[in-house]
Amino acid sequence: MIESWRWYGPYDKITLPEIAQTGATGIVHALHEVPYGAVWTQEAIAARKAEITGAGFDWTVTESLPIHEAIKRGDGDLSALFANYRQSMANLAANGVNTVCYNFMPLLDWTRTDLAAPVARGGTCLRFEQARMAAFEIHMLERDGAEDDYSPEVRNKAAAWFQRSSEADRDALLHAIMSGLPGAFDRYDVAGLRSALAAYDGIDRDSLRANYKRFLQEVIPAAEDLGMVFCVHPDDPPRDILGLPRIVSNGDDIGWILSAVDSPANGLTLCSGSLGANPANDVPAIAERFADRIRFAHLRNVRKDADGSFEEAAHLDGDTDMVALIRVLVTEEARRRADGEDFAQIPIRPDHGHELLSDPERGSVVGYPLIGRLRGLAELRGVTRALEQVHNHG
């Protein structure tokens, strides 16, 4: 596997020379400064690639080449947006960057309610607290129908939190929920989020699927022609949120996507943390089911609570059997090598991570600390090397 590291370029307090000391050889990157829908120029891509290769890395995966919200909603004439998207693809391919991770989550990317929940032996983690999300939706956003999405127990906890919360507490909650949006793009205030949600009125699961299928039909043939692979990232959390449908949350969703345009270029980013937040998902089993279409893997772990809350666990300590999952990836890589397939090696990266030791002082991109991810990568590397030895030598 290709050990990789997500790097945010000019937005990142972690430098490429520091990343080199982690042992990672691949960089996962995107031009976050480019507005959604605009073309990534060959010149901008080449300049960033030169910076990455000059530091001794390969630009292994683009994460993400973002999809404009108008495409997700199916708004009007989308021909210019699709043309721009395909041009960005061509410009990436011309620079030898051939794997694209993306998501089809409406409006928000990953969502958490607490950016610094305490961890038992020190450090902090990202957490999704069901009652706080309910407090936000019911009492701050005042979304119609939000009460129906939560149990009476959670609604009671939400009301109690809201009544005792200060304005600073509510601001912190809004900041946490907005923090999953990458790069330089706008964060919403409550009124702005209401307005953005209104643009999705009438978009249900079936219509979002139809818009997604159109996206695949527009870009996967181009990916085939360019020798690229696309890999969809699962929803995080893997459930409807803010009244918006989420359609990449379980094995059946993934099966639908991969069959909607059945092509080796239409693949999966296996994110063990996103899928692992749904109690119904057996992550190693999902990986085994779609092993031949996994083009990239985010390896992290979560620990779930009965009410739907969850938090980031240490990479080997959460609810997902990480050893079993990595065994699936090791076995699949061996099969690809034996069959002489392209894209035989699977890029992996330690996803998220606890903030440990001096991490809080650095002010890194939320969820992407240096020491916490270094610990995760070291643990994942050890498991991988051991399983490769077993696989190669019986």
pLDDT, tens digit (0-9, with 9 covering 90-100), for 179-198: 876 654 567 899 999 999 99
* 174 and 210 housed in the same domain: no
Catalytic residue status for 139: no
Distance, in Å, from the CA atom of 90 to the CA atom of 112, rounded to the nearest integer, reads 34
DSSP result, 144-157: TTGGGGS-HHHHHH
Q: What's the token pair of residue 100?
A: 């694209």
* 74 and 176 housed in the same domain: no
Total domains in the fold of the chain: 2
pLDDT tier at 393, thresholds 50, 70, 90 = confident
- Neighbouring-strand partners of residue 310: 128, 304
Q: What is the DSSP letter of 235?
A: P
Q: What is the DSSP letter of 74?
A: T
* 126 and 252 housed in the same domain: no
Please tell me the predicted confidence (pLDDT) of residue 227: 98
Range of the domain at 170: 114-197
Q: Which of 212, 352, 354, 359 is catalytic?
A: 352
Q: Which of 149, 236, 351, 359 is catalytic?
A: 351
- Per DSSP bridges, beta strands 310-313 and 301-304 are antiparallel
Catalytic residue status for 315: no
Decide which of 197, 221, 236 is a domain's last residue: 197
Catalytic residue status for 368: yes
* 280 and 306 housed in the same domain: yes
Q: Which of 32, 298, 315, 354 is catalytic?
A: 298
Q: Which of 271, 282, 315, 359 is catalytic?
A: 271
Catalytic residue status for 351: yes
* 150 and 259 housed in the same domain: no
pLDDT, tens digit (0-9, with 9 covering 90-100), for 12-51: 999 999 999 999 999 999 999 999 999 999 999 999 999 9
* 284 and 357 housed in the same domain: yes
Beta strands in the chain, from DSSP E residues, in sequence order? 2-6, 26-29, 58-63, 99-102, 114-118, 124-128, 229-232, 266-271, 294-299, 301-304, 310-313, 347-350
Q: Which of 32, 233, 315, 354 is catalytic?
A: 233
Give the chain's mean pLDDT: 96
Residue 266 has pLDDT above 50, yes or no: yes
